[in-house]
Amino acid sequence: MAAITVDGLRKEFGDVTAVNDLSFTVESGELFGLLGPNGAGKSTLIKMLVTLLQPTAGTARVNGHDIREDRGGVRDSIGIVFQEPALDEELTGTENLALHARMYGQRKAERERRIDEILDLVDLADERDELVENYSGGMKRRLEIGRGLMHEPSVLFLDEPTVGLDARARRDTWDYIKRMNEQSGISIVLTTHYIEEAEQLCDRVAIVDDGDIAALDSPDALKDSLGGDVVTLEIDGPTAPLLDRLDEASWVAEYTTSDAVVHVTLPSGESHIVDLVRIADAVDVQITSIDLRKPNLESVFLSVTGRTLEDGDTEAAETEAVQSVGAAGSAGSLEGER
């Protein structure tokens, strides 16, 4: 059985469509990523899947529980870590975990066993009795992720799990997420706008833009869909003679031009740079600069949406504000409504 099945899910805030008729599945044990700029609809989608927002249309099943008809069943079987910190900094690490466990009705023996297991998993056993206010940002994030696992959920939702962390803490957090997925077999759904995070962690990635899924596949498959590496040539003079020869080269997948710049897509770009130079020399075209770029998910995002993630962040600011106001009016506390 799939961990999550989404069927025509839609969410509107007034005139703004934040999530637009999405349908997809997340397999059991999968580490599934939602990649897109701020305001793309990722967090709104997560809030519907964890029953904090009611869909405008469509539905979804999480661990077999319908998000409209069986909210309690959904909540009992999931863990979630939101973007905003939700720890009590006046309590110790152990006390934060114990408080969460009590909310899920865990008995003392089970609670103590799980606290020990979680603190070992997130490498905080030595700091278990320290006040959380004295933890570093990375330690707090690891504790929050561990807290989401206290009741042994089938699915863990991580909403932008490394926002605000420095590069070292971010990579450490990636290690813990990957380890949890591999050791426990838990299904993990994470939202992110970090390209490297999606590439490093996810079995499959859905590229989300303006409430739609523009592409969905494994990171390698998404990158392979671009047809290869991109070699950028800056040309001094007319480009037509070079383009004529590129048309004849069987190893060139495609090319595009802009002013005096030619972008050539081809497999194993580094092995064909010499060939490109030879072709240019043969037709007396002077190359002034050569740049080789391996495909990444940023390239895929640009290909399927026509813009970069940074462009999306800028354009989404107003939409995100509308979504936040609407979500605040609709969503209650996940634990408080248990």
Tokens of 188: 């993990």
**Residue 324: which residues within 8 A CB-CB, separation 6 or more?**
none
CB < 8 Å & 24+ apart, contacts of 265-270: 265/226, 265/227, 265/228, 265/229, 265/230, 266/227, 266/228, 266/229, 266/231, 267/227, 267/228, 267/229, 268/228, 268/229, 269/228, 269/229, 269/230, 269/231, 269/293, 269/294, 270/229
Q: How far is CA 80 from CA 70, 120, 134, 259, in A?
A: 17, 20, 23, 49
Asked whether the predicted pLDDT for residue 323 surpasses 60, the reply is no
| pTM of the shown model | 0.80
pLDDT band at 18 (very low <50, low <70, confident <90, very high): very high
CA atoms within 13 A on the CB side of 210: 9
Residue 331: predicted pLDDT:
45
Residue 312: predicted pLDDT:
61
Asked whether the predicted pLDDT for residue 318 surpasses 50, the reply is no
Paired sense of beta strands 204-209 and 31-35, if any: parallel
Average of per-residue pLDDT across 77-85: 89
Torsion of CA 168, 174, 177, 182, to 10 degrees: -120
Residue 179: predicted pLDDT:
86
Mean confidence (pLDDT) of the chain: 89
If one counts every other C-beta atom within 10 angstroms of the C-beta of residue 131, the result is: 14
pLDDT band at 227 (very low <50, low <70, confident <90, very high): confident
CA 148-181-220 angle, to 5 degrees, is 130
pLDDT digits (tens, 9 = 90+) for 155-164: 999 999 998 8
Q: Measuring CA to CA, which residue among 55, 60, 84, 83 is closest to residue 73?
A: 60
Average of per-residue pLDDT across 252-280: 90
Average of per-residue pLDDT across 220-240: 90
Asked whether the predicted pLDDT for residue 326 surpasses 70, the reply is no
Asked whether the predicted pLDDT for residue 332 surpasses 80, the reply is no
Query: What DSSP state is assigned to residue 295?
Result: -
Q: Which helix (H) or strand (E) holds 264?
A: strand 261-266
The DSSP bridge partners found for residue 205 are 33, 217
Residue 337: predicted pLDDT:
52
Q: Measuring CA to CA, which residue among 48, 88, 56, 70 is closest to residue 189?
A: 48
pLDDT digits (tens, 9 = 90+) for 275-289: 999 999 999 999 999
Whole-number percent of the chain with pLDDT over 90: 68
pLDDT digits (tens, 9 = 90+) for 109-156: 999 999 999 999 889 999 999 999 999 999 999 999 999 989 989 999
Average of per-residue pLDDT across 99-116: 93
In this structure, of 172-176, 266-270, 318-322, the range with the lowest mean pLDDT score is 318-322
If one counts every other C-beta atom within 10 angstroms of the C-beta of residue 314, the result is: 12
Residue recorded with tokens 């391996």: 294
Q: Are 20 and 212 in contact (CB under 8 A)?
A: yes
Residue 314: predicted pLDDT:
54
Tokens of 74: 């959904």
Walk me through the domains of the chain, giving residue ranges and CATH numbers.
Answer: 4-77+153-223+301-330 (3.40.50.300), 227-294 (3.30.70.980)
